[in-house]
Amino acid sequence: MELIIYDLEWNIGYKPYVFRYHGAELTLRGEIIQIGAVRVDGNARVLDTFFLQLRPRIFRRLQHHIAKVTGLSQGDLDAGLPLREGLERFRQWAGPDAVFGEWGMDDMPVLKQNLYLCGLDESWPQRWVDLQRLFLQSFPRKEGEGLALESVVERLGIPLEADRAFHNALDDALYTARVCARLPLAEGLAAYPDQRAQLTEALGAGLAAPVRDVHFWPGRLDHDDYKNDPELTAAACPECGAPLALDADGVWLKRGNTGYYTLAACTADSAHGQWFLRFKLARPDGLHWNFARGLEPVTDREALARWHKQKKAQLARLRKLREKQPEE
Ligand SMILES: [Zn+2]
């Protein structure tokens, strides 16, 4: 078993950069200026390392905050390898079937957006894992403990090396490998949940009752599909299979950053009760949305009262907004 543990440093702009991806409008999260990576075996032993300094094409001017964090200068960027060439070299080094691991989930969306904007195959890499998640399985988070790589390295008593600073892509990849050496890495990777399992878990997290009738739609372009696409909104009553009627006013409430839900009821028999039709969304590759959907039985009056109260508030907000904006 081999894993590519990698880290990216990226530059951001003083103005957002918006681009189209198969019709969908996306905002570039950052342009890669440094790639650091190590190839490790199942025990997190380092087999090989990779490092490149890159020259951005879109955000050419080094943003002052990025300069501060990375210690890089404008000259470092200007002397870097062209981004496209660097990404091609990285792919050659890692291999087409490599499994990737990173500390957190921030870098893969940036990698994929950059691959796409350079005209390279953004479907690579196919598989990647969040090593923070594996770390938390072995070292559950205690009150007040941060997850920044620096603080975890310190907590585990991993010795710092004088010539290795944090926020250099290769140093961060190496420190991440050292953290992984304290984990049952191979077992963790073998048991790592796929996108569907991860999103289904997030969908049901913190709910009073387990969700039923779970569906999963990967790789969609439009964030609003959850409420606009009949394929996604057509749900059946778990008791009898008859279609569910969704909230007559078309109201969807938000739960967390990327959760939405509406009230639904069986069209055949009112005794089958009411349901919250729930969606959880994620965009792990920075390009496509995944949707998980499930039905939560509405079991208590309080939850129902809360829905009606919040729905009323949302309709009032929308009315106010419409009054402010003159009709076109
Ligand atoms: Zn029914």
Gap from CA of 254 to ligand 1 centroid (Å): 26
What pLDDT shows up at residue 2? 96
Gap from CA of 305 to ligand 1 centroid (Å): 22
What lies within 8 Å, CB to CB, of 114 at 6+ separation is 31, 32, 83, 87
User: Which of 275, 280, 307, 274 lies closest to 293, judged by CA?
Assistant: 280
What pLDDT shows up at residue 6? 98
What pLDDT shows up at residue 328? 56
Strand 46-55 relative to strand 81-82, pairing = parallel
Gap from CA of 215 to ligand 1 centroid (Å): 18
What pLDDT shows up at residue 166? 81
Gap from CA of 298 to ligand 1 centroid (Å): 14
User: Which of 49, 111, 58, 105 lies closest to 86, judged by CA?
Assistant: 111
Gap from CA of 258 to ligand 1 centroid (Å): 28
Burial 43-66 (b: 16+ CB within 10 A, else e): ebeeeeebebbbbbeebeebeeeb
Intervals of the chain under pLDDT 50: none
What pLDDT shows up at residue 327? 60
Gap from CA of 207 to ligand 1 centroid (Å): 22
What pLDDT shows up at residue 68? 94
The amino acid that residue 107 corresponds to is D
Burial 122-131 (b: 16+ CB within 10 A, else e): bebbeebbbb
Burial (CB count within 10 angstroms: exposed 0-12, middle 13-18, buried 19+), residue 226 = buried
Gap from CA of 295 to ligand 1 centroid (Å): 13
2-190 CATH: 3.30.420.10
* Residue recorded with tokens 């010795």: 159
Give pTM, 2 decimals.
Answer: 0.91
Q: CA dihedral defined by 241, 242, 248, 253, rounded to 10 degrees? A: 0
Instruction: Show me where the domains of the chain are located.
Output: 2-190, 195-324
